[in-house]
């Protein structure tokens, strides 16, 4: 028998970056019990811990162009007020270079000469995000963009000569603009103005000539493609287009290589092209899963590609592909549970017809073994976002696979609002939370009830963030179906939720969900708290007290009303966490409690 501890004995790895010469990889992992910065030699040797935070969590990292220093962001107890740090790449004491406890910072890029660091912060006005430039020699900081618009940076923000910066202005999750900013003067120009329509424009890397860059867009098409933007002519030409989204683009100028991924229903298909010949480069066989990052090391003498990959039977880990030898090698530890290959159940891609005839793409996991004719309980798992995607990875630190080992199946749909299946499907949830999405969830229930191997009396619903809202909506508005439900930091009241989001989110949330004053009637109608008296099944609620996105009051009001009604509810509050469980001990505790709750009520 496998145990919960075996499935959760993993290292969570969130970010990585190769050293400039490709000799090492820097990565963020919780191997110490908290997310810290680590380095591992590429040609062999143990990983070395570079930061030793206990309360702070490292969130992101950058390696300077000369490879001598690292910039990273760390916040406290998941409060998302990340501060900027610098440290020597070879190790040493990190220096905290911002001290603004009420301000959130996000990394941008080092200038090509390594003198400047560009980053974003809402330091001037809480509801605006501006771009700042720090002189790493003098320590001077300059606000590069004026207030009044949200501006963020991608990792390849600087042009090759360091004279210009490419930034993205998010209007909504499906609508962005790309801006070109002159570093010397701060003059900014909107390159993709499109007032009459919505379209995604997301920055990619610069071309070596500095006169053009790559970007991703779905403008005029169903799925995202990679484009090239020529600054002299203003022309945008598609470079990579497929029937699925193109994502992740990495360029090696020294070796003439381009690497990118195609998101095929949630599986990543990697392709590497020799740009001098236009032919694809042969690759070793890769497992099916999600590729969460691609990078070449600019000064690497060898043709090597670094990538982070996450599979249904393998937690996220960093690999290197030697393109000459067609060899794939694991660089970072991932799994420690000593589980056999047959301890994991692979997902099956299915499509489920919804109320309006549209098809819901979904991943179905069935427990292995079992006596013929045995009917099993099922967990309906709704992902967060909602504008993200359920993919074929090691979901929630082994949560799915442990439940499967205990005989519980999992149906994980990409209901309307999910990404990865075209812009039209994604936009169907805009200003319709608790509408068509809830009917999609009911269609999933009916699909399960029609399967001869499903015990229709033992269905549960679970979700985190938006998925928590979905779980509460199911329990309150579709109460007849559930043996139990679990809400992990989900909004319970759309009026109070839209009022309490971080200030820089408010314009997007207004377009995305609704205005808490103007749309109060609709938001109240769609809120789970409105139907709390209809909840029949046992409910578990988990919440981080430091959550800046879905504040604790969202869970408190739901739990309070249920207790007043005498309904069974378990409340687990993590005082030292935010929207995510960052500390390893809390992550294990939280998912263990949820798994035990589900197994108890599903029998």
Tens-digit pLDDT profile for residues 385-409: 999 999 999 988 899 999 999 999 9
Q: How far apart are CA 405 and CA 410, in angstroms?
A: 11
Question: How many domains would you assign to the chain?
Answer: 1
pLDDT value at residue 125: 85
Q: Is residue 407 a part of any domain in this protein?
A: yes
Residues in CB range of 254: below 8 A, 6 or more apart: 298, 299, 300
- C-alpha distances (whole Å) from 279 to each of 6, 257, 274, 275, 540 are 43, 10, 6, 7, 53
Reported as a single tens digit per residue, the pLDDT across 129-154 is: 999 999 999 999 999 988 767 788 87
Closest CA to 409 of 449, 358, 469: 449
Q: How far apart are CA 239 and CA 217, in angstroms?
A: 11
Structural domain span for residue 549? 347-602
Q: Is residue 92 a part of any domain in this protein?
A: no
Residue owning tokens 């269905």: 459
Q: Is residue 185 a part of any domain in this protein?
A: no
Which residues lie across from 280 on neighbouring strands?
A: 273
Helix orientation angle between 466-477 and 436-449, rounded to the nearest 10 degrees: 70
pLDDT value at residue 2: 86
pLDDT value at residue 148: 67
pLDDT value at residue 417: 97
The CATH number assigned to the domain holding 415 equals: 3.40.50.1820
pTM here is 0.95
Q: Is residue 440 a part of any domain in this protein?
A: yes
Closest CA to 74 of 120, 107, 117, 118: 107
Cβ neighbours of 98 (radius 10 Å):
18
Q: Is residue 69 a part of any domain in this protein?
A: no
Are 324 and 303 in contact, with CB atoms under 8 Å apart?
Answer: yes
Spans of the chain, pLDDT less than 70: 148
Are 3 and 291 in contact, with CB atoms under 8 Å apart?
Answer: no
DSSP secondary structure letters along 293-309: EEE--TT-SS-EEEEEE
Q: Is residue 63 a part of any domain in this protein?
A: no
With H, G, I as helix, E, B as strand and everything else as coil, classify residue 588: helix
pLDDT value at residue 551: 96
Q: Is residue 180 a part of any domain in this protein?
A: no
Q: Is residue 424 a part of any domain in this protein?
A: yes
pLDDT value at residue 282: 96
Residue 348 phi/psi, 5° resolution? Answer: -115, 135
- C-alpha distances (whole Å) from 32 to each of 12, 14, 92, 396 are 11, 14, 17, 19
Closest CA to 518 of 506, 528, 530: 506
* Plot region of 220 (φ>0 → left; ψ -120 to 50 → alpha; else → beta): left
Q: How far apart are CA 585 and CA 114, in angstroms?
A: 38
Reported as a single tens digit per residue, the pLDDT across 351-367 is: 999 999 999 999 999 99
From the CA atom positions of the chain, what is the Rg in Å? Answer: 24
Q: How far apart are CA 426 and CA 389, in angstroms?
A: 10
């Amino acid at each position: 028998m496998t145990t919960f501890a075996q499935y959760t004995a993993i290292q969570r790895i969130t970010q990585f970056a190769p050293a400039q010469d490709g000799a090492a990889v820097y990565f963020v992992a919780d191997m110490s019990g908290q997310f810290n910065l680590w380095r591992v030699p590429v040609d062999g040797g143990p990983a070395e811990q570079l930061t030793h935070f206990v309360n702070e969590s490292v969130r992101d990292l950058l390696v300077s162009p000369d490879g001598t220093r690292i910039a990273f962001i760390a916040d406290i107890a998941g409060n998302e007020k990340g501060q900027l740090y610098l440290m020597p790449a070879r190790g040493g004491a990190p220096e905290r270079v911002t001290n603004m406890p009420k301000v959130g910072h996000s990394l941008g890029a080092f200038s090509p000469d390594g003198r400047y660091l560009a980053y974003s912060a809402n330091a001037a006005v809480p509801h605006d995000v501006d771009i700042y430039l720090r002189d790493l020699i003098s320590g001077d900081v300059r606000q590069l963009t004026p207030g009044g618009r949200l501006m963020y940076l991608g990792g390849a923000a600087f042009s090759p000569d360091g004279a210009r910066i490419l930034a993205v202005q998010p209007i909504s999750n499906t609508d962005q603009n790309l801006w070109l900013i002159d570093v010397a003067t701060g003059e900014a120009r909107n390159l993709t103005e499109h007032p009459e329509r919505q379209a995604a424009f997301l920055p990619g890397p610069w071309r070596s000539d500095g006169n053009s860059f790559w970007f991703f867009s779905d403008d005029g098409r169903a799925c995202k493609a990679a484009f090239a933007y020529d600054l002299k002519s203003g022309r945008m030409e598609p470079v990579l287009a497929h029937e699925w989204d193109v994502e992740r683009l990495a360029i090696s100028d020294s070796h003439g290589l381009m690497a990118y991924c195609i998101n095929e229903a949630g599986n990543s298909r990697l392709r590497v092209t020799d740009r001098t010949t236009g032919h694809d480069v042969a690759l070793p066989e890769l497992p099916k899963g999600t590729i969460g990052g691609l990078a070449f090391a600019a000064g690497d003498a060898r043709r090597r590609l670094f990538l982070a990959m996450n599979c249904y039977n393998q937690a996220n880990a960093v690999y290197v592909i030697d393109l000459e030898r067609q060899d794939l090698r694991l660089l970072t530890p991932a799994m420690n549970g000593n589980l056999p290959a047959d301890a994991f159940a692979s997902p099956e891609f299915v499509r489920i017809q919804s109320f309006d005839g549209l098809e819901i793409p979904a991943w179905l996991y069935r427990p292995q073994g079992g006596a013929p004719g045995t009917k099993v309980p099922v967990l309906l798992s709704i992902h967060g976002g909602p504008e993200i995607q359920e993919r074929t990875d090691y979901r929630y630190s082994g949560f799915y696979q442990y439940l499967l080992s205990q005989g519980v199946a999992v149906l994980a749909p990409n209901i309307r609002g999910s990404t990865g299946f075209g812009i039209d499907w994604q936009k169907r949830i805009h200003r319709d939370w608790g509408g068509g999405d809830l009917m999609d969830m009911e269609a999933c229930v009916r699909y399960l009830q029609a399967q001869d191997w499903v015990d229709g009396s033992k269905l549960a619903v679970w979700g985190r963030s938006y998925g928590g809202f979905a779980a509460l909506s199911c329990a309150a508005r579709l109460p007849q179906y559930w043996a139990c439900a679990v809400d992990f930091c989900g909004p319970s009241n759309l009026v109070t939720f839209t009022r309490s989001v971080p200030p820089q989110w408010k314009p997007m949330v207004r377009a995305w969900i609704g205005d808490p004053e103007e749309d109060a009637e609709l938001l109240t109608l769609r809120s789970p708290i409105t139907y709390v008296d209809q909840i029949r099944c046992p409910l578990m609620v988990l919440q981080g007290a430091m959550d800046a996105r879905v504040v604790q009051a969202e869970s408190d009001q739901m739990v309070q009303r249920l207790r007043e009604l005498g309904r069974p509810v378990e409340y687990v509050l993590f005082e030292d966490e935010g929207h995510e469980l960052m500390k390893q001990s809390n992550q294990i505790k939280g998912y263990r409690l949820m798994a035990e709750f589900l197994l108890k009520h599903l029998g």
